[in-house]
Structure 1
Amino acid sequence: MRRVSLPCDADDVAISCLIVDDNEYFLHAAQVLLEREGLVVMGVTSTSDDAVGQVETLHPDVVLVDIFLGEESGMDLAQRLSETYAGDRLTVILISTHSEQDVAGLIASSLADGFLPKAGLSAAAIRNVVEANGR
């Protein structure tokens, strides 16, 4: 798996992430966007099991998890990662095409560290969630 690090602003620390989504086009677009904005995308995957394996192997700072992973539940994956890595530096962020208002109940019941709409996905937004969680 290739690891790409692009220059960040002097005040920014490179953040590594894993993207978990069942939409192949979104995975590619998000990877390109976030790498251009200076994040290190360590991997992309469409399944929960593969995501858990990649987190164990790659140790990303952030895991972006689609709330609705096709046949699987992104909510279950977010909870599993949050429980397994509680106290570690891992930040779990739920993502969705739905607005925050549409999925507020799901977000509130999750153990995720934050939520970002896919339309607003950016390195700056991810950094804000990481910093808000003291990481």
Structure 2
Amino acid sequence: MTCLIVDDSAAFRTAVCGLLERAGILVVAATGDVDEAVAGYRREHPDVVLVDIDLGEHSGFDVVDALQDLDADAGGRIIMVSTHDPDDFADMIAESPVRGFIPKFALSAERITAMLGTDSGAGSGTGVH
């Protein structure tokens, strides 16, 4: 499985790269802004995109919109992450095309694969995990 990480914190990107790569997920790009996220998606077409909801001057939903403009099926590959309470963004996540939400403190390869349904070939897995 390949992954693109979009988060404005370089420290978080580094930590998650290590966490995921130790679990066998190849991080093909890690960036902090919309334009680099689009370029990385276009270049790598990753299996999953982890997008921080709060990107400083931009929103993670800006990244979602840009990726959807590039690839209508991108939403099924996107998992939103944040340190904020999931209830703060539940409506926005539910209305967006993203696969779901995982709190940053609970992020793991197992949760990602479970949400994508790749661990057992199961269905959608949409929601908050």
CA 1:82–1:130 in 2, change beyond 3 Å: closer, same or farther? farther
Q: Give the Cα separation in 2 of the matches to 1:101 and 1:40.
A: 30
- Structure 2 CA distance for aligned equivalents of residues 84 and 133 of structure 1: 22
Identity %: 44
Partner residue, 1:51: 37
The one of 7, 20, 38 equivalent to 1:34 is: 20
| Inter-CA distance 88–23: structure 2 relative to 1 (3 Å threshold) | closer
The residue number in structure 1 matching 2:105 is 119
Provide the C-alpha distance between the structure 2 equivalents of 1:124 and 1:113, rounded to a whole number of angstroms: 15
Q: Contact 1:95 / 1:117 at 8 angstroms: preserved in 2?
A: yes
TM-score after normalising by structure 2 = 0.84
Q: How many residues align?
A: 120
Q: What is the one-letter code of the residue matched to 1:110?
A: S
Q: Give SS of 2:86's match.
A: coil
**What TM-score do the two structures reach when normalised by structure 1?**
0.81
1:133 alignment partner AA: S
What is the aligned counterpart of 1:104 among 62, 78, 90?
Answer: 90
Are 1:22 and 2:8 matched, yes or no?
yes
Q: 1:26 to 1:48 in 2, by over 3 A?
A: same
Question: Which of 104, 124, 133 does residue 124 from structure 2 map onto?
Answer: 133
SS in 2 for 1:101: helix
Which residues of structure 2 form unaligned runs of 5+? Answer: 118-122
Judge conservation of contact 1:82–1:112 (CA < 8 Å) in 2. no
Structure 1 residue runs without a partner (length 5+):
1-14
Give the AA of the match of 1:47.
D
Which amino acid letter does the alignment assign opposite residue 129 of structure 1? M
